[in-house]
Amino acid sequence: MTEAETTPQTGKRVLLAKPRGYCAGVDRAVQTVEEALKLYGAPIYVRKQIVHNKHVVRTLEAKGAIFVEENEEVPEGATVIFSAHGVAPEVYEQAKARSLKAIDATCPLVTKVHQEARRFAAEDYDILLIGHEGHEEVIGTAGEAPAHIQLVDGPDGVDKVTVRDPNKVVWLSQTTLSVDETMETVARLKQKLPLLQSPPSDDICYATSNRQHVVKEIAADCDVVIVVGSRNSSNSVRLVEVAVDAGARAGHLVDFAHEIDEAWLADARTVGVTSGASVPDELVQQVLAYLAERGFTDVEEITTANERLTFSLPQELKRDLKAAAAARG
């Protein structure tokens, strides 16, 4: 029996998922922009959204970050930060051609997938990349070895797969997918390609898996699950799907507390609350305050994992921070 099931069914309650919110890769990426602004001064250019969250982007813009879509929008010789989702090698070449000072804030877990792609391509494998078409992370990974990589967008994409040699095929994946859907895609691929190899270690990141796992734990007890996150955040969108699949009566994605529709709460006794991996906890606290005003004052935190992983800042930035500290020294 879970803690959730032993809570008396009086009053209105909130089951608060933990872990939720910032993962190590997002924390590092946001910190990279903040430290760069302090060290080099504004403006600092960031290619694409540093992480997929409206509030984070607005906050950094207010501090002097300028978000651009492509390197061409960055003045020659300026500093540009690449987002946590990773970029294709050609993006580095473009930056070099414009004499940009590039700082790479790619999440190390995404970098790992890039390295796998390069290694398997060098060994002449066909690489089946499970992911969502058009997602920045998929574009970056595919750019490592475009001639070897084909995208498989979920289980329904399996039928379109063709390979040169069924003995030399490996699957990799975007780090922010639904664990269950990815495993379903892999199972279908293996029916078609029995000798399909798996990545050396799981590509779906620990934070994505952990956040989905705790949502599965609470979902069946919830009349509605509110996920705090942005619509372009793959892992946040997945959390809503996971909640409904795991038995929640309804699931909704909101960026901010004021986006919650009162109608969602009309007959609810138990509300689940969680947030995507690029969401600062202050936004979750605002949702809890909103719910408390409507009678949901009994908050129980359900914990399924404790995350202690941290990543150090990008090498380029660390070097400059060290040099600046020595100069002051």
Query: What does the pLDDT look like over 35-84, one tens digit per residue?
Result: 999 999 999 999 999 999 999 999 999 999 999 999 999 999 999 999 99
For residue 307, give the nearest of 15, 26, 3, 13 by alpha carbon. Answer: 26
Q: How far is residue 267 from each of residues 108, 158, 218, 296, measured CA to CA in Å? A: 43, 41, 18, 12
Residue 200 belongs to a domain: no
Say whether 132 counts as a known binding-site residue: no
Residues 44 and 101 in one domain: yes
48 found inside a domain: yes
In a domain, 31, yes or no: yes
Distance CA 276, CA 141 (A): 22
Is residue 238 located within the same domain as residue 281?
A: yes
Please report, as a single letter, which amino acid is at residue 127: I
Is 175 within any annotated ligand binding site?
yes
Under 8 Å CB-to-CB from 50, ≥6 apart: which residues? 29, 30, 32, 33, 56, 57, 60, 65, 67, 81, 83, 84, 105
Q: What is the CATH number of the domain that holds 59?
A: 3.40.50.11270
β-partners of residue 270 are 13
Whether residues 185 and 233 share a domain: the answer is no
Answer yes or no: do 227 and 285 share one domain: yes
pLDDT at 188 over 60: yes
The residues assigned a catalytic role are: 137
Q: Is 52 flagged in the annotation as binding?
A: yes
- Is 278 annotated in some ligand binding site? yes
Does residue 101 sit in the same domain as residue 113?
no
203, with CB counted inside 10 A (0-12, 13-18, 19+), is: buried
Distance between CA 36 and CA 311 in Å, rounded? 16
Residue 127 is part of a domain; what is its CATH number? 3.40.1010.20
Q: For the stretch 214-227, what's the b/e string if a residue is b when 16 or more beta carbons lie within 10 angstroms of its beta carbon? A: bbbbbbebbbbbbb
The reply, when asked if residue 306 is annotated as ligand binding, is no
Q: Both 96 and 124 in a single domain?
A: no
Q: Is residue 161 part of a domain?
A: yes
Shared domain for 159 and 221, answered yes or no, is no
- My answer on whether 77 and 113 are in the same domain is no
First CA to last CA distance, the chain? 58
Residue 201 assigned ligand-binding role: no
Tens digits of residue pLDDT in 121-180: 999 999 999 999 999 999 999 999 999 999 999 999 999 999 999 999 999 999 999 999
Quote the Cα angle for 233-88-308, to 5°. Answer: 50
Q: Is residue 83 a part of any domain in this protein? A: yes
- In the predicted structure, residue 10 carries a pLDDT above the cut 70: no
Q: How far is CA 117 from CA 8, 83, 128, in A?
A: 51, 19, 10
Residue 213 annotated as binding site: no
Question: Three-state SS across the chain?
Answer: CCHHHHCCCCCCEEEEEECCCCCHHHHHHHHHHHHHHHHHCCCEEEECCCCCCHHHHHHHHHHCEEEECCHHHCCCCCEEEECCCCCCHHHHHHHHHCCCEEEECCCHHHHHHHHHHHHHHHCCCEEEEECCCCCHHHHHHHCCCCCCEEEECCHHHHHHCCCCCCCCEEEEECCCCCHHHHHHHHHHHHHHCCCCECCCCCCCCHHHHHHHHHHHHHHCCCCEEEEECCCCCHHHHHHHHHHHHCCCCCEEEECCHHHCCHHHHCCCCEEEEEECCCCCHHHHHHHHHHHHHCCCCEEEEEECCCCCCCCCCCHHHHHHHHHHHHHHC
55 labeled part of a ligand binding site: no
Are 69 and 43 in a shared domain?
A: yes
Q: Where among 141, 162, 192 does a domain terminate?
A: 192
What's the confidence (pLDDT) of residue 261?
Answer: 98
Asked if residue 85 belongs to a known ligand binding site, the reply is yes
Q: How many structural domains is the chain composed of?
A: 3
Binding site annotation covers 23? Answer: yes
**pLDDT band at residue 329 under the 50/70/90 scheme:** confident
Whether residues 90 and 116 share a domain: the answer is no
Residue 245 located in a structural domain:
yes
> Residue 222 belongs to what domain range?
13-22+206-303
Q: What is the pLDDT of residue 11?
A: 86
User: 17 and 67 in one domain?
Assistant: no
Give the pLDDT confidence score for residue 8 in this predicted structure: 47
Mean pLDDT to the nearest integer, 287-316: 97
Quote the CA–CA distance of 57 and 84 in Å, as a whole number: 13
Query: Does 100 share its domain with 147?
Result: no
> Residue 118 falls within a domain, yes or no?
yes
In a domain, 6, yes or no: no
Q: What integer is the mean pLDDT of 293-297? A: 96
